[in-house]
Amino acid sequence: MSVGEGAPEALPRRERLPGGDEHAGAVFRLGDRVERPAGPHAGSVHALLRALRADGFDGAPLPLARDARTETLLYVPGEVPLPPLPRWAAGEQALRSVAALLRRLHGAQRRFDPEGLSWSCELADPRGGELICHNDVCPQNVVFRDGRAFALLDFDFAAPGRAVYDLAMTAKLWLALGLPGDRTRGGVEPERGLRVLAEGYGLAPAERPRLVAALGDAIAVGDAFVTRRVERGEPAYVAMWAAGGRDRIARRQEWFAREADRLADRLDD
């Protein structure tokens, strides 16, 4: 018998993945699988992901298994931009492709029935809606291939809402709104970035003022989300707060109060 013949296959190496603020240090890749903590609504999320795949949408992980503590998903190869964002992820092409991918996600839900399922309320659209929105399309939750958005990760905060709110929350998470030089976000100027997102999503000019109004909702919801976590003493958020997070929230809110009307007037032309 030759050397190695009949020997058991080597187990895949356990590789720690970044995991973002919510699951930092707790997400692992094992070959073509990813293991991560299962959220309280993992059953609903898996039902959504399976329905999306059955409808031909390949821009999200395929769920494989879950128990009370852990979920296992098929690994999605590609590049995930982490802050400070690389140049290729900070420009208009990447941003436009993120909006197009979000539109595909929304369109792939035609046959998904959410009846009886539960969802997170933490980043949900305060005005409600029937579409299941991702609500957390930040750079760390997007897989790119050849500089274009290919798949969305981490559906823990998915919840019913409006498509325009999901797009607005994406704008909040990608654009440096009132925060010039913020390298955790893309380098596109806010007004131009909102236009690029609207165009990439296919939002008609007459509908774009609604994006600005929804951005106000997204800013309020996102900032309240961070504040709650700081008050609960969650380490990642406490550290962010101490590093100037409180000031960044105040500056973004002041910027939106000052610029909202002008943005709504400019985006519909």
Whether residue 6 is contained in a domain is answered as no
The reported pLDDT for the residue numbered 33 is: 97
Residue 1 lies in a domain: no
- Residue 197 sits in a domain whose CATH number is 3.90.1200.10
Asked if residue 225 and residue 163 are part of one domain, the reply reads yes
User: Do 109 and 231 lie in a common domain?
Assistant: yes
Domain C-terminal end among 40, 74, 108: 74
* 66 in the same domain as 91: no
Q: Kindly report the average pLDDT of the chain as a whole number.
A: 93
Convert the pLDDT of each residue in 188-244 to its tens digit. 999 999 999 999 999 999 999 999 999 999 999 999 999 999 999 999 899 999 999
Q: What is the pLDDT of residues 128-150, one digit of tens each?
A: 999 999 999 999 999 999 999 99
Radius of gyration in angstroms for the set of CA atoms belonging to the chain, rounded to a whole number: 19
- pLDDT > 90 fraction of the chain, expressed in percent and rounded: 84
Task: Give the model confidence (pLDDT) of 5-49 as tens digits.
Answer: 565 566 678 899 986 667 777 899 999 999 999 999 999 999 999
80 belongs to a structural domain: no
The answer to whether residues 145 and 62 belong to one domain is no
Do 24 and 146 lie in one domain? The reply is no
Residue 172 lies in a domain: yes
**Confidence at residue 116, expressed as pLDDT on a 0 to 100 scale:** 95
- Within-domain flag for 82: no
Alpha carbon distance 100, 167 (integer Å)? 10
Residue 65 belongs to what domain range? 14-74
pLDDT given at position 13: 84
Same domain? For 121 and 231 the reply is yes
**Domain CATH for 48:** 3.30.200
Q: Is residue 144 part of a domain?
A: yes
Q: Are residues 59 and 126 in the same domain?
A: no
Domains held by the chain: number: 2
**Is 143 in the same domain as 209?**
yes
In the chain, % of residues over pLDDT 70: 95
**155 & 256 share domain:** yes
Tell which of 24, 48, 74 closes a domain. 74
Model confidence pLDDT, tens digit, residues 100-122? 999 999 999 988 999 999 999 99
Question: Are 33 and 96 in a shared domain?
Answer: no
Tokens of 50: 């399976």
Residue range 151-194, pLDDT digits in tens:
999 999 999 999 999 999 999 999 999 988 787 788 899 999 99
> In terms of domains, do 134 and 52 share one?
no
Whether 157 maps to a domain, the answer reads: yes
Same domain, 141 and 218: yes
- 2 has pLDDT over 60: no
Q: Determine, yes or no, domain membership for 3.
A: no
Whether residue 180 has a cis bond before it, omega within 30° of 0: no
* pLDDT confidence of residue 14: 86
